[in-house]
Structure 1
């Protein structure tokens, strides 16, 4: 399976998880589905890619004109060289997708517990799926104000 196909598959897992989070009722079974079928699937895909790339089992497919990435070099140059390959890009993007979905699930559960409506949660969740840390920061600011008022 090529990196383009893996890219498509991880986006399906991400889209299913976020759609469930936005549109399905917030029940324990739905939360479990998002956690395991969404976040868990993305984490498992990440693990498989990580092992394949770092174990030399898969070709990272460097961008034309780039050398082979040094997968153990975590300097800025080393990480740049990793992302200058199809495998490294899909690996890194899957990392973002898994964590953003996990954070979105946490935000929704926390917001539900604090009595925020789904409509009030929607912009924060949208920010989280589009720009994870900005959505998380927004939620941390919003939830702190509610917590202080409730104390």
Structure 2
């Protein structure tokens, strides 16, 4: 398995989807395409690689089985080319999903695109930190925490 090639292809694909999310018009067609064709395709790629890897049908590049039962096992799994690539695709899929949610929610509440772009870049690069930044920004528009978390 050429893990370097898979890593490169998924990285380029993810960057393209993020550029669309950042700069394209956010109409139904674009957002649906990003959701299914972006996050959905990354999640599918992850699944199509992870399941055979879990059952030993493809080699991770380390010659060992996957072990998520201990920190040492997770370190060993993620240190292999296959484990690191699949782990990265996992991040890419979930970060894009969160980015789509942030963008849609920010649009719904009238946050200007110039305010969204830095937060979306944090979501892309640092995942949970970007989400926290958006939740804090969202909280500034509401009097109660529940209103910020569960919009009507």
User: TM-score of the superposition, structure 2-length normalised?
Assistant: 0.90
**Structure 2 unaligned residues grouped into runs of 5+:** 148-152
Task: Tell whether 2:95 aligns with 1:103.
Answer: no
CA contact (8 A) 1:70 1:81 kept: no
Residue in structure 1 matched with residue 54 of structure 2 by the alignment = 54
Equivalences for residues 18-57 of structure 1 within 5 A:
18-57=18-57
Distance 1:61 1:27, change over 3 A: same
Considering only aligned residues, what root-mean-square deviation do their CA atoms show, in Å? 1.5
What does residue 10 of structure 2 align with? 10
CA shift at 1:10, angstroms? 1.0
Confirm or deny that 1:78 pairs with 2:73. yes
Distance (whole Å) between structure 2 residues aligned to residue 42 and residue 7 of structure 1? 11
**Structure 1: segments with no counterpart, 5+ residues:** 63-67
Indicate if the aligned counterparts of 1:13 and 1:41 stay in contact, CA closer than 8 A. Answer: no
Residues 60-91 of structure 1, C-alpha deviation per residue, up to 9 Å, x if partnerless?
112xxxxx443143311110010110000001
Q: Is the 8 A contact 1:128 1:136 kept in 2?
A: yes
Which digits, 9 at most, give the CA deviation of each residue in 1:16-65, with x for residues without a partner?
A: 21011011101011001111111011001100110121121211112xxx
Partner SS, residue 147 of structure 1: coil
Instruction: Describe the SS at the equivalent of 2:140.
Output: helix
Q: 1:69 and 1:76 mapped to 2: Cα distance?
A: 15
Contact 1:17 1:38 in 2 (8 A): yes
Instruction: Report runs of 4+ in structure 1 exceeding 4 Å deviation.
Output: none
Tell me the number of residue pairs that the alignment of Structure 1 and Structure 2 aligns: 145
Give how far 1:13 is off: 2.2
Measured in 2, the distance between the counterparts of 1:121 and 1:37 equals 22
Aligned to 1:65: none
